[in-house]
C-alpha cells in the first residue's frame, strides 16, 4: 500500500519535472493499486494529436458490434489515401494492397498510420465519433478533422485540430481496462467483451516506445497511444507491473518551442518530460 506521505512526494516530483520546462504540461496519473489520482490542469482543452485514435477505435468497434461495420471487410490501399499524410508506413508502399478493416484499425493504432486512419474514417463520420465520445462521458473531447492539415503553424488555434483533455483520455483507458471484466462498462462502451479485449491488446501492441515507456525497464508492458502535434507531444496509456495494471498516465505537452535554449529540439524534451513523469510514477507508486 502506498502511504499518503509517499503519494505527496510523488506529486511533488511530478510538479518538479513539469516546472523545470518552459512549456505547458497537463497530466492525470492514477495509481491503480490505490485508486489515488494526481493531476495537473487535467480538464484544460489541449490538442489531441493521435491520442484521438483510441476513441476512433472504440467508435469503430461499437459500429462493428451493432453490425454497421464488418471488421473482416477487405479495404484496398489507394494512392489518394496517402495525400496529406505524414505518419505511418503505408504512404511509402505500392497502392493496391488489400487488408481487412480490422487490420486498418490495428495499423492506425500500433504505428499511428494515417493511411489506415483514413481507411477507418471512410466508414465512420466525424459527427458519429464525436457523439460517441460525448455519450461515454468524454465531454472535453472534440473531433474536428479527419487528418490535421500538414501546413498548420506551431501556434495554431485549438479549434484548428481535434482536442481532448488529460482526464478524458485517462477515463477512456480506465473504461477499456474495466471492460475486460465488467459487463456494465461493456454496455456503456457499446462494445462486447471480445472486442474490448482486442482494443486493450491493440494498445499493448504499440510499436512506438518513446515517452511513457522510454525510462521504464526493458520489456515493461504498456498499453498506450501517443501523438505528434505541432504544439507538442502527448501520450496516454496503462502501465503494467508484475503482469497487472499498475498506473494510468495521460500526459500532454503544449506550447513546446522548436528548440530549447541549449539547442535541443523542443519535441525531444517534451517526450523526455513524459518519460520522466512515467518513471516517477513507476518508482513512487511502488513504494
Dig out the grid coordinates for 234 from the structure: 502527448
pLDDT at residue number 287: 66
* 10-52+125-285: in CATH 3.40.710.10: yes
pLDDT average, residue stretch 195-220: 97
- DSSP annotation of 258 reads S
Mean pLDDT of the chain: 95
- Identify the weakest region by mean pLDDT among 4-8, 151-155, 187-191, 225-229: 4-8
**Digit-coded pLDDT (tens) for 81-119:** 999 898 899 999 999 999 999 999 999 999 999 999 999
Tell me: pLDDT of 6 over 80. no
Q: Which regions of the chain carry the CATH code 3.40.710.10?
A: 10-52+125-285
Q: Are 1 and 226 in contact (CB under 8 A)?
A: no
d(CA 263, CA 197): 43
Distance of CA 66 to the CA centre of its chain: 24
Q: 8 falls in which pLDDT band (50, 70, 90)? A: confident
For residues 197, 198, 204, 205, the Cα torsion angle rounded to the nearest 10 degrees is 160
What's the CA angle centered on 127, arms 123 and 128, to 5 degrees?
55
Q: 240 falls in which pLDDT band (50, 70, 90)? A: very high
**Digit-coded pLDDT (tens) for 9-48:** 999 999 999 999 999 999 999 999 999 999 999 999 999 9
pLDDT at residue number 146: 81
Q: What is the 3-state secondary structure (H, E, C) of 132-197?
A: HHHHCCCCCCECCCCCCCCCCCCCCCHHHCCEECHHHHHHHHHHHHHCCCCHHHHHHHCCCHHHHH
Global pTM exceeds 0.85: yes
- DSSP annotation of 210 reads S
d(CA 144, CA 269): 28
Report the candidate in 268, 247, 255 with the shortest Cα–Cα distance to residue 33: 247
Amino acid at each position: 500500500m502506498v502511504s499518503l506521505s509517499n503519494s505527496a512526494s510523488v506529486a511533488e516530483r511530478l510538479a518538479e519535472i513539469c516546472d523545470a520546462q518552459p512549456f505547458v504540461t497537463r497530466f492525470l496519473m492514477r495509481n491503480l493499486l490505490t485508486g489515488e489520482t494526481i493531476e495537473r490542469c487535467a480538464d484544460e482543452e489541449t490538442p489531441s494529436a493521435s491520442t484521438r485514435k483510441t476513441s476512433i477505435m472504440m467508435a469503430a468497434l461499437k459500429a462493428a458490434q451493432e453490425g454497421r461495420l464488418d471488421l473482416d471487410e477487405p479495404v484496398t490501399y489507394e494512392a489518394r489515401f496517402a495525400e496529406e499524410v505524414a505518419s505511418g508506413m503505408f504512404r511509402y508502399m505500392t497502392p493496391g494492397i488489400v487488408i481487412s478493416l480490422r487490420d486498418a484499425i490495428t495499423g492506425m493504432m500500433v504505428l499511428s498510420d494515417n493511411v489506415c486512419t483514413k481507411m477507418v474514417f471512410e466508414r465512420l463520420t466525424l459527427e458519429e465519433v464525436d457523439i460517441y465520445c460525448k455519450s461515454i462521458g468524454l465531454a472535453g473531447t472534440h473531433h474536428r478533422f479527419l487528418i490535421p492539415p500538414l501546413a498548420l503553424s506551431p501556434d495554431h488555434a485549438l479549434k484548428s485540430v481535434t482536442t481532448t483533455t488529460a482526464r478524458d483520455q485517462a477515463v477512456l483507458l480506465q473504461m477499456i481496462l474495466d471492460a475486460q471484466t465488467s459487463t456494465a462498462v461493456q454496455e456503456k462502451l457499446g462494445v462486447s467483451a471480445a472486442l474490448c479485449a482486442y482494443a486493450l491488446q491493440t494498445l499493448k501492441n504499440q510499436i512506438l516506445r518513446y515517452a511513457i515507456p522510454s525510462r521504464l525497464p526493458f520489456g515493461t508492458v504498456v498499453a498506450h497511444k501517443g501523438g505528434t502535434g505541432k504544439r507538442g507531444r502527448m501520450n496516454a496509456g496503462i502501465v503494467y507491473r508484475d503482469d497487472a495494471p499498475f498506473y494510468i498516465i495521460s500526459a500532454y505537452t503544449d506550447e513546446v518551442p522548436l528548440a530549447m535554449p541549449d539547442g535541443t529540439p523542443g519535441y525531444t524534451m517534451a517526450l523526455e518530460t513524459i518519460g520522466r513523469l512515467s518513471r516517477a510514477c513507476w518508482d513512487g507508486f511502488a513504494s
